[in-house]
Amino acid sequence: MRGKQPKERDHYVLRMADGTLVDVTREVYLEWYRSRRRERYQKERNRKHGICSLDSLEVRGNGSGHFQDVAEGVEETVLRNICRDKVREVLEKLPAEDARLIELLYFAEATVTDTAKLFGCSRKTIQNRRKRILEELCRKMKEQGIQGGYF
């Protein structure tokens, strides 16, 4: 165990929620306090970063009854699928190396650094190529009448 070690005792006692005292072994005692400290650390970290749970929202009176239903309509789904098909058509018309770069960066979620290693060039070269390819894709999509917002 890391951190400060408690001194050895003859017996260890835990106070239960109802106030009763229970004799436990040293291992149980240490694990109970370790888990309690872990929970306190997580709450402190979440508070520091502004993270709150749904349970805490309900306690504050901002319960889940206030969340809007964000279900997507059929028309929106159809429009998104049509746009994705058109984007795929534009991607298929790219040179093989450019298509591979876009595939790695956006579909395989590879980093720019990893992609640069695969292509055997610098990170800056990949960034410049990505910018040029994306500008070309935008121009071709505008020519085909594809507008953003659906994909």
Domain that holds residue 79: 74-143
Judgement on whether residues 138 and 79 belong to the same structural domain of the protein: yes
So what's the pLDDT on residue 150? 46
CATH at 129: 1.10.10.10
Number of domains in the chain: 2
- The predicted structure's pLDDT at residue 53: 60
The 10 Å Cβ neighbour count of residue 113 is 11
Residue 149 lies in a domain: no
Q: What was the pLDDT predicted at 151?
A: 45
Query: For residue 5, is it within any domain?
Result: no
Mean pLDDT, consecutive 10-residue stretches, the chain (151 aa), reads 68 84 87 84 79 58 51 77 79 88 84 92 94 88 67 45
Predicted confidence at residue 5, as pLDDT, reads: 67
- Residue 108: what pLDDT? 81
